[in-house]
Structure 1
Amino acid sequence: MSKDQIISAYEQAKKTFEKYGVNTDQALELLNQTPISMHCWQGDDVRGFESPETALSGGIQATGNHPGAAKTPDQLRADMEKAFSLIPGKKRVNLHAIYIDADEFVERDQIKPEHFDRWVQWAKKQGLGLDFNPTLFSHPKADDGLTLSHPNEEIRQFWIEHVKASRKISEYFGRELGTASFMNIWIPDGMKDQPVDRLSPRARLADSLDKALAEKIDPTFHKDAVESKLFGIGAEAYTVGSNEFYLAYAATRGTALCLDAGHFHPTEVISDKISAVSLYVNDLQLHVTRPVRWDSDHVVSFDDETQAIMREIVRNKLLDRVAIGLDFFDASINRIAAWVIGTRNAQKALLKALLEPVEALKTAEQAFDYTTRLGLIEEAHSLPWAAVWDYHCLQNEVPVGFDWINDVKDYEATILATR
C-alpha cells in the first residue's frame, strides 16, 4: 500500500474504534511508550562470547544450523541493529553474562561493569535500555545439575559471587542508561530421577539467594527477578526452583517475579497467572515465548496465548508494573528474521489489547450481561486493528507488512553468508 492508502485506512479505522469508545491515538501513544526487551541469545544460539570452549548445557538446546550465527559481540550488535530497523516502537536489549565483551577471559565470579562497557556505549547510541541475567549454566561448576542449591559450599559460594557481580553490572546499566535494568535469575538446578530429599536443596537455594541479594540497590537503577521452571532436560523429575518456591520467595523478599510462558505444564498458561500474582508481587517480568510440547522456545507467534498475555496486562492496567521480554532461540531459520517476527508479533498482540473496548466489556460484566460481553469480545477480534498497526509501522519508518523480508534476505546474502 502507498503512504496515502495507509493513512486513509487508519482514519477509517479510527472512526470505527471511536464507536466502541476506543481512542486509537492514545493506544498508539501507549504502544510507543512500552518497550519490548529483545533477547540477545537468539542471534548466536545461546553460545555467548565468554570462551570458544564454552559448551551449551543446563537443559538448553538450540536446534538447527542456519548459516550466519554471530561469532563476535560486534557481529551480534550489527545483527540486532538490522532487526531494530525492521521493528517499530521502543526496544530494550536483554543480555546474559556470557555475552561479556572483554579482551581476555574473565571467570564469572570476577565479572565487572567495565567488561560490559562496550554494550553500554552501544546502547547509548541506539537509545536502548539494557536488562541482564547471571548465567548459571554452560559452566564446569554447573555440570552436576546444581548451582545455588549445590551441597558443596565452595561451588555454591562461587555462584553466589557470580550473582552479586551480576547485580553490580545491572546497576551500572541502570545508572548509565537512565532506566532500571531487570536482572533475572534462572538456574537449571534439578534432578533427572526422583530425589529422596526435596527440601534441603530448596533450603540451600533460599539461603544462597538471600546472601546474593543482601546488598540493597536502588530500584531506580536495578530490579532483581526470579524465574521458575517446571522441568528441563536432565531435570525431568524435580526442579528446585519451582513456581511455588519462587512465588513465595518474591512475595516475601520483595523481588520481581519472572513468568516464562514455556516453564509450566502444557495445560497451564501464564496469562491466567498475571492478575493472581500481581496481588502479592509488585513487579513482574515476562518471558514471552512459544512452547511446543515442552519448553522449546519457539519464535513468538500471534497466537491465542500471546494475545491473552497482553490483554491481561492491559485490562488490569499493569503496564507500569510488567516488564515485557522475549525468550526464544531458533537456529533453523534466519536469526534476524526470528527477532523481527517474534518482536513484531508481541507488539501486534499488545496493540490489539490496547484497542480492545475494555470499558464497555467491564460495564457489561458488572451488569451480569454476559451475552453482551461474549458478543463484544468476539466482534472486537474483527475490528480493523491491522490498519492501526500498519499506520504505527509507517509512523516509525519501518516496513509495512511483509516488505521487511527483502531487507533480511539482502542482509543474509551480503553479510551473513560471509561468516
Structure 2
Amino acid sequence: MSNEIEKAYELAREQYAKHGIDTDHVLEQLAKIKVSVHCWQGDDVRGFLFQDQDLSGGISVTGSHPGAARNPGELRQDLEQAFSMIPGKHKVNLHAIYADTDEGPDLDEILPHHYEPWVAWAKQQGLGLDFNPTCFSHEKSGDGFTLSHPDDGIRQFWIDHCKASRRIGAYFGEELGQTCVTNIWIPDGYKDTPVDRMSPRKRLMESLDEVFAEPIDPAFNLDAVESKLFGLGSEAYVVGSHEFYMGYGMKNQKLICLDAGHFHPTETLSGKLSSLALFTSGLLLHVSRPMRWDSDHVVVMDDELLEIARELVRHQLLGSTHIGLDFFDASINRVAAWVIGTRSTIKALLRAMLEPIDVLKQAELAGDFTTRLALTEEFKSYPFGAVWDYYCLKTGVPVREAWLEQAKDYERNVLLQRGAQVSPAVE
C-alpha cells in the first residue's frame, strides 16, 4: 500500500507544482503546527480534584459511552492512544481540576508539584502543555459568579485560583521548553435581564488586573481571556462578553480567545480573525462545532473549519495564533472523538496550504473575480487527499480510515474493561 500512496503523492506533487505549490515544503510547515488537544474530552469534564461535584457553569455532557478515564493514568493512556493515530507532535490542554495528586488541594491552593506527573509524561512523549483555571463545578461558583462576584471573599478565592494557575502555566513552559497558554474563562452571568450590567464587569476588570499583576516571562506563559455570548443559567447576560474581553485583551496585551460556539448562530469565527489580528499580539482559538449554538460537537472538516484554516494561512497568522480544540461528546468512543477532531483540523490546514494563494490574491486585486471564483472552485477537487495520505505514512500514523480499527481494538481491550470502580493509575 505504501507504494500506491507514494505514487499518488508524486502525481499530486506534479499537479500542485504547476501552480507554484511545493508540497514537500507545505508538509514541512504543517509538521511545525501544534494543536492543543483538550484533555476533558476523555472523562466528560469531571477532572480528578472534585469527582463527586456535579457539572456547573452551563456545561453539560450528553451520552454514556463506556470507557471514560477515571484517573490521571487512564487519561494519559487514552491520550497516548489518540496521539498514536494523529500525525505530528502537539500539546495537551489541561484544566486545573486535572491535578494528579493525593493532597486534595482546593483551587486556590494548587501548586506546580500537583501537576508534576503530567510534566514528566509530557517530556517523555515530546508534548507541550497548556492550562486553564477551572472556574466552574465548585461550591464557590454555585450561584453562577466567580471573578465578578459581589462578595469580596469569594471573588478573592477565584483571583487566587487564577494567580496560582498562571504560575503553573509558567512552570509548564519552563520545564517543557514550549510556551504554555493559560486561558481564563468564567461562567458569570444572569439567567434573566439584569438592572446593572456595568458593576459586574467593573469587578471583573479589577479582578483580572489583580490576577495579571504578577509579571511572568512570556517565553514560559502567555495569558488569554475567553468570551461567551450565552450559557445555561446565563441566557440574558454574560459578564465576560466578546466586547469586554476584546477591549481588555487589546488594552492589556493579552491573547483574545475565540471559541467557535461562543457567538450568535449567524456569526462565524473565521470572519473575525483578520480584524483582530491587526490590533492584537496574538489569538487563541477554541475550535469546536456549534451545531446548535455552543453544543461542542466533535470537529469535522466543514465549511467553517476550512474558512478558519484559510484565514490563518492566507494572512500568515499561524505564527501568532494558538490553535486549541474544545468539544466533549460522551455518545461515541472518546478516543476516536479526539482523533476525528484533531485529524480534521490538521487536514483543513493542509487544504488551505495547498491553495494558490498568491495567484488568487493577484486576481482579486486586478478585479478578475472570474479567475478568483474559478480557481477557488477547481482547487476543491485537487488531490489534497493524496498529500494527506503521504503525510500520515511518513509520520508513522494510520492512513485514511485504518486508524478506526486500532481505535476499536483499544476500545475492546481497554475501554470496555473499565468497571464502575476507580482503578489504580495506569502509567
The whole-number CA distance in structure 2 between the counterparts of 1:348 and 1:294 is 24
Partner of 2:76: 77
Three-state SS of the structure 2 residue aligned to 1:44 is coil
Letter of the 1:210 counterpart:
D
Distance (Å, rounded) in 2 between the aligned partners of 1:327 and 1:357: 30
Aligned twin of 1:16: 15
SS across alignment from 2:61: coil
Q: What amino acid is the match of 1:305?
A: E
> Residue 396 of structure 1: CA displacement?
0.7
Residue in 2 that maps onto 1:317: 316
1:99 matches 2:101:
no
Matched position secondary structure for 2:381: coil
Aligned to 1:174: 173
Q: Whole-Å Cα distance in 2 between the matches of residues 146 and 23 of structure 1?
A: 52
Deviation at 1:62, TM superposition (A): 0.7
Aligned to 1:360: 359
Residue aligning to 2:378: 379
Q: Which residue of 1 aligns with 2:56?
A: 57
Output the CA distance in 1 between the equivalents of 2:360 and 2:51: 55
Could you say which residue in structure 1 is the equivalent of 2:194?
Answer: 195
Once the two structures are superposed, the pairs formed by residues 88-127 of structure 1 within 5 Å of their partners are 88-127=87-126
> Which digits, 9 at most, give the CA deviation of each residue in 1:203-233, with x for residues without a partner?
0000000001111111100000000000000
Q: Once the two structures are aligned, what percentage of the paired residues are identical?
A: 60
Amino acid corresponding to residue 2 of structure 2 in structure 1: K
Query: 1:290 aligns to what SS in structure 2?
Result: coil
- Counterpart in 2 of 1:38? 37
Q: Which residue of 1 is the match for residue 421 of structure 2?
A: none
Q: Which runs of 5+ in 1 are unaligned?
A: none
Q: What is the CA–CA distance in structure 2 between the aligned matches of 1:312 and 1:294, rounded to whole Å?
A: 22
Q: Which residue of structure 1 lines up, in the alignment, with residue 250 of structure 2?
A: 251
Contact (CA 8 Å) 2:186, 2:240: kept in 1 or not?
A: yes
List structure 1 runs of 4+ shifted beyond 4 angstroms. Answer: none
Once the 2 structures are TM-superposed, how far is the Cα of residue 104 of structure 1 from its aligned partner?
Answer: 2.2
Give how far 1:379 is off.
0.9
| 3-state DSSP of counterpart to 1:78 | helix
Q: Which amino acid aligns with 2:118?
A: W
Q: Quick one: distance in 2 between partners of 1:395 and 1:284?
A: 30
- Correspondence 1:263 to 2:262: yes
The CA distance in 1 between the partners of 2:324 and 2:14, in whole Å, is 32
The Cα shift of 1:91 comes to: 1.1
Partner of 2:149: 150
Q: Does 1:161 align with 2:163?
A: no
Match of 2:24 in 1: 25
Following the alignment from structure 2 to structure 1, what is the Cα–Cα distance between the partners of residues 84 and 164? 33
Q: What's the secondary structure of 1:132's corresponding residue?
A: strand
Q: CA offset at residue 418 of structure 1?
A: 1.2
Distance in 2, Cα, partners of 1:357 & 1:336? 35
Gaps of 5+ in 2: 419-427
Equivalent in the alignment of 2:131: 132
Which whole-Å CA distance do the structure 1 matches of 2:380 and 2:293 have between them? 29
In the alignment, what sits opposite 1:349?
348
Per-residue Cα deviation, 1:284-311 (whole angstroms, up to 9, x for no partner): 0100000011201000011000000010
Structure 1 CA distance, aligned partners of 2:95 and 2:132?
5
The TM-score, its normalising length taken from structure 2, stands at 0.97
CA distance in 2, matches of 1:372, 1:15: 21
Letter in 2 for 1:200: S
Structure 1 position 14, deviation (Å): 0.3
Shift of 1:52: 2.9
> Is contact 2:89–2:126 with CA below 8 Å preserved after alignment?
no
Q: For residue 186 of structure 1, what is the aligned residue in structure 2?
A: 185
Please name the residue that 2:283 is paired with: 284
> When the two structures are superposed, what TM-score results if normalisation uses the length of structure 1?
0.99
Cα deviations by residue, 1:86-139 (Å, 9 ceiling, x for unpaired): 011121100000001011211000000000000000000000000000000000
Q: Secondary structure at the match of 1:28?
A: helix
Q: Residue 381 of structure 1 aligns to a residue in which SS?
A: helix
Further displaced range: 41-50 or 374-383: 374-383
Distance 1:26 1:257 in 2: 30
2:229 equivalent to 1:236? no
Q: Distance in 2 between matches of 1:64 and 1:186?
A: 24
Letter in structure 1 aligned against 2:404:
I
Q: Counterpart of 1:291 in 2: which secondary structure? A: coil
In the other structure, the counterpart of 1:416 is 415
CA distance in 1: counterparts of 2:53 and 2:165, whole angstroms: 19
